[in-house]
Structure 1
Amino acid sequence: MAGSRPGTAPRTTATARVRKALLRAYRRLRRTGVDYFRGDASDWPAFVALFLLCPLLVFLNIRQPVWCPPTALVLPILAGAFLLRPSSLVLLYAASAGGLSVESLVHAAERSTGQGPPVYQVGVTPGAALVVGAVGIAGLLLAQFRSRVGVPWRRGGSMLFDLRERLRVQSQIPHLPPGWHAEMALRPAGGQSFSGDFVVAARTGSGNSVLEAVVADVSGKGMDAGSRALLLSGAFGGLLGSLPPHDFLPAANGYLLRQEWEEGFATAVHLALDLDTGDYELLSAGHLPGMQMCAGAGRWEVKEAEGPLLGIYDGAKFEGVRGRLDRGDVLLLCTDGMVEAPGRDLSEGMDRLMGEADRLVAGGFRGAAWRLIETVAKDVNDDRALLLIWRE
């Protein structure tokens, strides 16, 4: 352009490039959620409060070291581990480290001048710095875990509680017509809240005249199997009533195969009970046999169906066994935690379970499910589930 000085255009172009680069960096920061100064980060209020708490603690330590030691800086660090993201937590750590440096300098100055109370002679010790640093490392690991899970700490516990309650609701036995009674008891291993054993039941058929129930045992125990049990209980609950009884276990087997879990197998027993006639059919997938007490004969009978474990191979076939519940009869379904023990055969455990259940006949079976779990398998560190159905 006429009248322009040589070299102006190149400088203008370089300035524009720098401006564009800064603008791109600014937009990138906003997309990653680090633009605190515009309030885009969700943890902005908590970050500001904890950041301002650091100089307050430093001031209190300088003025009242007896009541506010240098290790008091772990308080904002711990709160930040639960409230802030890792990127925010690093900035808070920088403020805490700066606070420790200020305290150390002030105490060093007091020692050199000989002023202040005797407690100033201690100051920021290496042990105090190590404590603050160790808590900071633990807090950063916790914040990274929360960031990976994507669940705020305030909601994490409530989500686990909701999941546990959902599993409990899915295990409830539906209301049965007069003359029929059922009880279910579930006890996770080690006193935990989640179990790899679960029970799912529903009224199906025309007029809801059929009770379908599934007692399942997922590989693993306790918390390790609880997530898989929750997923399977929802899937099994959706399959009940949607398919004929003979198609349930093949569909469940296909579902497990599609999950491709490392420990992707489970055992299950499926009961289809006609509430009008008392006729039933048991289909098993590698599960313990059912046990029926015949009131007329006064003895227990083992109802064993054949079938492979769920999630092992495709095209598995399941052969059922039929029976009938007359008045006074009891049908007992359970998982292996009720009968399995080190050094003892499963048949011995089943005999012990049937003997204990037989002892409860005189007092009635109401509340017997929990009593059986407490008395028969109280020393077994395994998940336990028990379903009792009887006809008056």
Structure 2
Amino acid sequence: MSSPSLNAAASRLVPRGSRMLVLLVVVTVLIGLVIWRFHESVPLVSLLVPLLASSLVLGPRQLPWFVVFVLLVLALVVPSQDRIDLRIVLTVVIMFVLGFVVLASSLRRTRLGVAGIQGETMFVDLRDRILRQGGIPDLPAQWYAASELRSAGGTPFAGDFVVASRIAERLEVAVVDVSGKGQGAGTRALLLCGALGGLLSALPPSEFLDSANRFLLQQDWDEGFATAIHLSLDLTTGRYDIRSAGHPPAALRHAGSGRWEVLESEGPILGLIEDATFPAVSGVMRHGDALLLYTDGMVETRNRDIALGIDRMLGQAERLLRGQFEGGAKRLVEALGSRNDDRALLLVHRR
């Protein structure tokens, strides 16, 4: 019989979605028989192996029934023990408690509808796909750009993120700070990252923050606001437009004087005011100039005003970026900012 025929026969006998369940049932029965036959040397806790494995691979519909099956097998093999002492009783109690813990976790998974490993894999894959939108696209040789992110809890999920897109000879970048921090803001940041990444590529620069503001207003979240700064950069001429929505101002380093200039731009926070306007600050990046866009975690702490934090950041930038901009974003993020807040920074340099 050919391999396709064998696969078809196997699928008819045991549906693909039930094969793992059948395997675990067989393993549980075998372990139960071994405990019954060799109860002197095989402990009851051996049944924890299929129980814990089921919590990783079975879906929310199959898992509760399998947990009940394992506990039933446990109840059947307990009489095989030579004597029922306190150790046996405690083992049974602990296994029943673990069974109920697994049942409770399966009830939470019913909201997602997939097994533990599958659900985690889906979530990680979703996170990676969305965060790839924040990657800086390939730029002409005369331009260098890099972004760095750090979360308050040290996890890949944070309330700060960067989205970037190159459209012909224009670089469009937005640095966004979602309300909250760490994992608490992570889910909203993931949703916004995907939405704003699409808006950034599809709309003219002058309409990006307007549309982002409308999108946030439509979500009707309890903490439904965010700050953002948007850079639209002509890669041929170096001309830029910067629009801000309640965000710390960008900073431009003039190569001629070696001085940093704070580019003050005003605009309301996203998600609070309908029909808000976001005026642009325009200029030209000349050869040797550098531009910094960042979130408030880089410059603001409980004990320091944001203006003082910007001065400190620019002082560190003068020292850390002197003569070497490659890798500068990472050096600045590691040297500055509060470890109790999310941080994001974008560095653009015209060589």
Q: TM-score, normalised by structure 1?
A: 0.80
How far, CA to CA, are the matches of 2:75 and 2:141 in structure 1?
Answer: 77
Give the CA deviation at 1:328.
1.6
1:82–1:144 distance in 2 versus 1, CA, 3 Å: farther
Which residue of structure 2 lines up, in the alignment, with residue 15 of structure 1? Answer: none
Which residue of structure 2 lines up, in the alignment, with residue 139 of structure 1? Answer: 102
Alignment of 1:200-279 (within 5 A): 200-204=163-167, 208-279=168-239
Higher relative CO (Cα under 8 Å, sequence separation at least 6) belongs to 2
Which residue of structure 2 lines up, in the alignment, with residue 54 of structure 1? Answer: 28
Which residue of structure 2 lines up, in the alignment, with residue 319 of structure 1? Answer: 279
Q: How many residues align?
A: 340
Residue of structure 2 aligned with 1:190, choices 139, 143, 153: 153
Give the CA deviation at 1:241.
4.5
How far, CA to CA, are the matches of 1:228 and 1:176 in structure 2?
Answer: 29
Which residue of structure 2 lines up, in the alignment, with residue 370 of structure 1? Answer: 330
Give the CA deviation at 1:292.
0.9
Residue of structure 1 aligned with 2:19, choices 20, 42, 45: 45
Residue of structure 2 aligned with 1:335, choices 281, 286, 295: 295
SS at match of 2:90: helix
Which residue of structure 1 lines up, in the alignment, with residue 245 of structure 2? Answer: 285
Q: Which amino acid aligns with 2:174?
A: V
SS at match of 1:183: strand
Which residue of structure 1 lines up, in the alignment, with residue 8 of structure 2? Answer: none
Q: Which amino acid aligns with 2:138?
A: H
1:231–1:322 distance in 2 versus 1, CA, 3 Å: same
Give the CA deviation at 1:284.
0.4
Give the CA deviation at 1:287.
0.5
Cα deviation, 1:302-356, whole Å, max 9, x if unaligned, reads 1111111101121112122222212221110001111122211111211111111
Give the CA deviation at 1:362.
2.8
Which residue of structure 2 lines up, in the alignment, with residue 391 of structure 1? Answer: 350
Which residue of structure 2 lines up, in the alignment, with residue 64 of structure 1? Answer: 38
Q: Percent identity?
A: 45
Give the CA deviation at 1:87.
5.3
Which residue of structure 1 lines up, in the alignment, with residue 4 of structure 2? Answer: none
SS at match of 1:48: helix
Which residue of structure 1 lines up, in the alignment, with residue 119 of structure 2? Answer: 156
* 8 Å Cα contact 1:70/1:124 also seen in 2: no
SS at match of 2:126: helix
Give the CA deviation at 1:86.
4.9
Alignment of 1:106-125 (within 5 A): 106-107=80-81, 110-111=82-83, 122=85, 125=88
SS at match of 2:153: helix
Which residue of structure 2 lines up, in the alignment, with residue 34 of structure 1? Answer: none
Q: Which amino acid aligns with 2:301?
A: A
Q: Which amino acid aligns with 1:95?
A: F
How far, CA to CA, are the matches of 1:93 and 1:167 in structure 2?
Answer: 36
Cα deviation, 1:195-252, whole Å, max 9, x if unaligned, reads 2211122223xxx232221111111222222222222222222222433222111111
The farther-off stretch of 229-238 and 121-130 is 121-130
Matched, 1:297 2:280: no
How far, CA to CA, are the matches of 2:349 and 2:69 in structure 1?
Answer: 68
Give the CA deviation at 1:160.
2.7
1:202–1:124 distance in 2 versus 1, CA, 3 Å: same
Q: Unmatched 5+ residue regions in structure 1? A: 1-37, 112-120
How far, CA to CA, are the matches of 1:62 and 1:283 in structure 2?
Answer: 73
1:159–1:283 distance in 2 versus 1, CA, 3 Å: same
Q: Which amino acid aligns with 2:77?
A: E
1:365–1:147 distance in 2 versus 1, CA, 3 Å: same
How far, CA to CA, are the matches of 1:171 and 1:313 in structure 2?
Answer: 26
Q: Which amino acid aligns with 1:382?
A: D
SS at match of 1:239: helix
Give the CA deviation at 1:123.
8.2
Which residue of structure 2 lines up, in the alignment, with residue 75 of structure 1? Answer: 49
Q: TM-score, normalised by structure 2?
A: 0.88
Which residue of structure 2 lines up, in the alignment, with residue 169 of structure 1? Answer: 132
SS at match of 1:125: helix
Cα deviation, 1:62-94, whole Å, max 9, x if unaligned, reads 333354211222222222223334554444344
* 8 Å Cα contact 2:59/2:113 also seen in 1: no
Residue of structure 2 aligned with 1:382, choices 324, 327, 341: 341
SS at match of 2:189: helix
